[in-house]
Structure 1
């Protein structure tokens, strides 16, 4: 091989090596760009996720939003501002029994199971009217949403009729359906609807079902709860007539039996 050909071959080899190095350099640059871009996307995704989480965390909960609602849908058969006055019974009845209850309250359940039917009959007979004030404080002390959700569902029952309200309230407190205070069963719409199936006026009632599932009366329930908080009553059940608290004879406790209730009520009706 001549010296000239040898030099030409070497030059060609160097050129091929240069071209190959340039190709590799371009590939490496492209790879780095992909890694950088991918990392940037990942960082943005994480930042976006954190940002979304922060925004979501900053949003009020369903019940906080309901408590702050400016527009209140009050059930039928209510009176007063935001419909928080619930008085049931014959208009001609001269006296009104006020009852303060929390749906999760076990002592309220004891009262309703023992005396509820007597109260319902007295109201139907026109012996006195019944004013109901619902509370939700157990949700705060025991954690949960059951008191609020049940109160909203009671609003949906009241929207059907006063009778449906009373029957549904009795069902919620019944031995069959009332859970332990620590069990937040009333937080589930499905369970509230299961209880409602035991009330003829509510079973298969599409409007009632929709109002429960849509939370139509959530804001009303929160306003009712606020009315309880402003009442000065500190425990449930509390019974009042003419501003005086009804207690079992010789005790500060509420009358939880028919006999104790009848004794306290007879005295209050005469007052």
Structure 2
């Protein structure tokens, strides 16, 4: 074999080795790319599953009131006797509970969806009722739609306030009021609908045949809205919201034209003592 032939063969061998290396490298790159694609798809699937799971959990939490009944406060004999001792009347969009000659008249401004109102009722509701039954306190309840857009669907604050006025007409406001706070929907979630609110009245013993239509027709919706518009603009009810801003919020308690500081646990006893 001549020199020229040997050189040509070496050149072909070198090219063969180089081509093989390139082919192996290309194959390895292909495998890596496929692994990256597989890993990427796996990450997307996991993320998608997490999102779907989160949506399902959120929807379940948001709709906990759907298909359920509001837990009615079971009136025992002592509660019925205490309630029978004081009148419950409706004065426009306000529910008046207690004797007209009571030493102290509280104006209580609440929203049935307001979580702080719920805490207020759990903390002070029994003391207020005890003083009402004793004849020392009268309460004027203003049920307002402050958080009307904070339920899903919106409107629960108005629906429940209207139902409260209907319950007052039927003489069952105290138990209705307490039941809605004891079984309060979460802010941002589904509220109780009109049928469920009407069912609560029936469970509490309301026999008035007009009660259900009062609730489902939204009989007092406009009255509730008008009351809120007036209350929210009342100067003495404006409170410091921080950052130099003032506004109206719930719960608010007032005696006359003076907002009461309810941060002290004995605020109600102090009011009754000072009025004696």
TM-score, normalised to structure 2's length? 0.57
Quote the Cα distance in structure 2 between the aligned partners of 1:152 and 1:84.
9
Quote the Cα distance in structure 2 between the aligned partners of 1:96 and 1:246.
12
Equivalent residues, number: 175
Partner of 2:249: 235
Quote the Cα distance in structure 2 between the aligned partners of 1:160 and 1:198.
13
Partner of 1:246: 260
Structure 1 alignment gaps of length 5 or more: 1-75, 249-253
Give the Å deviation of 1:136. Answer: 0.9
Partner of 1:150: 160
Higher strand fraction (1 or 2): 2
Q: Please identify runs of 4+ aligned residues in structure 1 that moved more than 4 A.
A: none
Counterpart contact for 1:103–1:172, Cα < 8 Å: yes
SS of the equivalent of 2:233 reads helix
Partner of 2:190: 184
SS of the equivalent of 1:184 reads coil
Distance 1:147 1:167, change over 3 A: same
Distance 1:78 1:100, change over 3 A: same
Give the Å deviation of 1:132. Answer: 1.3
Give the Å deviation of 1:97. Answer: 1.0
Give the Å deviation of 1:100. Answer: 0.7
Give the Å deviation of 1:193. Answer: 2.4
Report matched runs for 1:69-218 at 5 Å: 77-79=89-91, 83-140=92-149, 144-161=154-171, 164-174=172-182, 177-186=183-192, 188-200=193-205, 202=206, 205-218=208-221
Give the Å deviation of 1:180. Answer: 0.5
Quote the Cα distance in structure 2 between the aligned partners of 1:85 and 1:194.
22
Structure 2 alignment gaps of length 5 or more: 1-87, 239-247
Give the Å deviation of 1:205. Answer: 4.1
Give the Å deviation of 1:85. Answer: 4.2
Give the Å deviation of 1:141. Answer: 5.2
SS of the equivalent of 1:206 reads coil
Give the Å deviation of 1:122. Answer: 1.1
Give the Å deviation of 1:194. Answer: 3.5
Counterpart contact for 2:151–2:191, Cα < 8 Å: no
Q: Aligned to 1:224, which of 224, 227, 230?
A: 227
